[in-house]
Amino acid sequence: MQLQVEENGIVTLTPEGENLIKDSAMYNEGLRPTRKNEHHWTAYNFASLWIGMCICLPAYSLAAGLISIGMNWWQAVGTITLGNLIVLVPILLNSHAGTKYGIPYPVFARLWFGSRGAHIPAIARGIIASGWFGINCWFAGAALDTLLVAMSGWANVPGHLGISFVFMWLLNVVIAYRGPEAVRRMENWAAPTLIVMSLALLVWALTSAGGWGPMLSAPSKFTTTGDFFKVFFPSLTGAIAFWSTLALNIPDFCRYAKTQKSQIVGQSTALPTTMGLFSFIGVAVASATVVIFGEAIWDPAALLAKFSPIVIFLGTLGIILATVTTNVAANVIAPARAVENIWPRKFTYGFGVIVTGLFSLLLQPWFILENFGNYIFGWLGTYGALLGPIEGIAIADYWFVRRRQLQLTELYQPNGRYSYKGGFNQKAIWALLIGIGINVVCKYIPGLEFIWDNAWIVGLLVSMLLYSWFMNKDQSLLSPTEYKKFTKQISG
């Protein structure tokens, strides 16, 4: 029986396929494969998605923070641009699976970790997204607090910063509750708005600092190449880890792509260019603050406080918009789907959004942002060591082990082909543990700390190679003959 149809590189279920799984405990409306009419996202939709996500306060702080630890402007921009070009590779590789089969990230994870083991990478991604959710809300809350302090007697209200944070947290939860399709509509108009506001900030820095020369003339504080590389490699890992989260759950968005070309073109043009431009703006503005105020200010809320109330008002609106476009797209859908996947017949996407918001409070974003060391070396570096091995397993499974051929209906069967033993793929778990373990051990061995500094890349490569070796001739693999048996081919 042919249970799926492949047309122009997009696989959807036949009516027989849908009937086979619709009553499964692992199936619901949010987790099912997308249908043919739901593949409607164009290259512009993906470009606007990335523009809206990249123009955010953590990205600004990452770039400006590299200045504060000693880099000059081109070292900082180059580090971030290189990191985004590197992470674009796994983003596009995992996007192919989401586009071709129309499955969200937790269902994709069932393929390589098993029907129950999928909770391991899904929840890991969800925890990190919850942390980012809180970080973005904290940035926006601080900006709102700055606005209210400048325009009223808000400074006399006890706990005023905490109140501002809670308000922004609630606003983000309410908007996120509306679902992923609302993201596409919001990003369409938010992306050009954020571009204009970012360029306006750059113009202010340029004119106030007296031109490019004074603004970008600050030399690097590193006197030797060795001193620079001690900071460069962990900073590069941080730049990669920044979007390594989306490299995992990008199928949550690409499952709606019209074609493979639309997602490839949209993402390849928008991600590296937007992050490169916005990191330059962050670096330029931080450098300008040294000229203008005598110190490098990498906190946008602290910078806002230097302006008049009307500028603070407009800047706060921009920060709120940047926070919402990033948070709803990048930091809610993944954990909400992870919660939904725990009990598909009972837990909804909306319930997952609420759990995400509550968990973000437990991760204490105010501590992560207490200083730049916590942010890039602690937060970004640590979760980069976790996500690298997971991404290596995902890429190896889809591209090298299964060669892009799978049976959709089996992903929704508790005891199906991809359930492995007891719902867990032990081979994936071992590849993950070894990939993480090598990085952690090297962190504490003198002379091997550089392995930890490059934890994302090392973990990805180690787990990718191990998983490919472990899964050679695994019983879950489809032969080309079996794939043709289940799949009806329709030429364009």
Highest mean pLDDT among 51-65, 142-156, 274-288, 450-464: 450-464
Residue 205 has pLDDT above 50, yes or no: yes
Confidence of residue 188 (pLDDT cuts 50, 70, 90): low
Contacts of 179 (CB under 8 A, 6+ apart): 349
pLDDT at residue 171, rounded to an integer: 87
CA distance linking residue 425 with residue 14, whole number of Å = 28
Where in the chain are the domains?
37-395
CA distance linking residue 127 with residue 227, whole number of Å = 34
Taking CA atoms, 383 is separated from 138, 140, 440, 457, in Å, by 20, 23, 12, 12
371-428 pLDDT per residue, tens:
554 554 455 556 667 888 999 999 999 999 999 999 999 999 988 899 999 999 999 9
pLDDT at residue 189, rounded to an integer: 67
CA distance linking residue 265 with residue 451, whole number of Å = 33
47-94 pLDDT per residue, tens:
988 988 888 777 777 777 787 778 888 888 899 999 999 999 999 999
Average pLDDT, the chain: 85
Give just the sign of the alpha carbon dihedral 376, 379, 381, 384.
negative
Residue 370 has pLDDT above 70, yes or no: no
CA distance linking residue 468 with residue 400, whole number of Å = 7
Residue 289 has pLDDT above 60, yes or no: yes
220-270 pLDDT per residue, tens:
788 888 888 888 888 887 788 778 888 988 999 999 999 999 999 999 999
295-317 pLDDT per residue, tens:
777 677 778 778 887 887 887 78
334-343 pLDDT per residue, tens:
788 888 888 8
Cα 173 from chain centroid (whole Å): 18
Taking CA atoms, 276 is separated from 286, 422, 470, in Å, by 15, 46, 38
Residue 491 has pLDDT above 80, yes or no: no
Instruction: Please say whether the beta carbons of 385 and 451 come within 8 A.
Output: no
Number of neighbouring beta carbons within 10 Å of residue 357? 24
Query: Higher pLDDT residue, 337 or 191?
Result: 337
CA dihedral 188, 194, 197, 201 (to 10 degrees): -160
Longest dimension (CA), the chain: 73
CA distance linking residue 398 with residue 255, whole number of Å = 15
Confidence of residue 40 (pLDDT cuts 50, 70, 90): very high
Q: Which amino acid does the sequence have at 366? A: W
pLDDT at residue 343, rounded to an integer: 84
What is the SS3 assignment for 407?
Answer: coil
Give the mean pLDDT of 142-153: 80
Beta strand 4-7 with 10-13 is antiparallel
Q: Which amino acid does the sequence have at 459? A: G
CA distance linking residue 267 with residue 265, whole number of Å = 6
Cα atoms in the 13 Å half-sphere on the side-chain side of 374: 11
pLDDT at residue 85, rounded to an integer: 94
Instruction: Please say whether the beta carbons of 392 and 456 come within 8 A.
Output: no
Going along 120-184, which residue ranges are E strands?
none
Residues paired with residue 7 on neighbouring β-strands, in sequence order: 10, 490
| Token reading at 294 | 């005598």
* Dihedrals phi, psi of 65, to nearest 5 degrees: -65, -30
Highest mean pLDDT among 15-29, 213-227, 426-440: 426-440
pLDDT at residue 426, rounded to an integer: 96
Confidence of residue 96 (pLDDT cuts 50, 70, 90): very high
Closest CA to 423 of 90, 116, 73: 116
pLDDT at residue 492, rounded to an integer: 59
| Token reading at 458 | 């090392």
- Burial of 189-218, coded b for 16+ CB within 10 Å and e otherwise, reads ebbebbbebbeebbeebbeebeeeeebbeb
For 37-395, give the CATH class.
mainly alpha
In the sheet where 4-7 sits, what is the strand order?
10-13, 4-7, 487-490
pLDDT at residue 120, rounded to an integer: 92
| Token reading at 219 | 């030399």
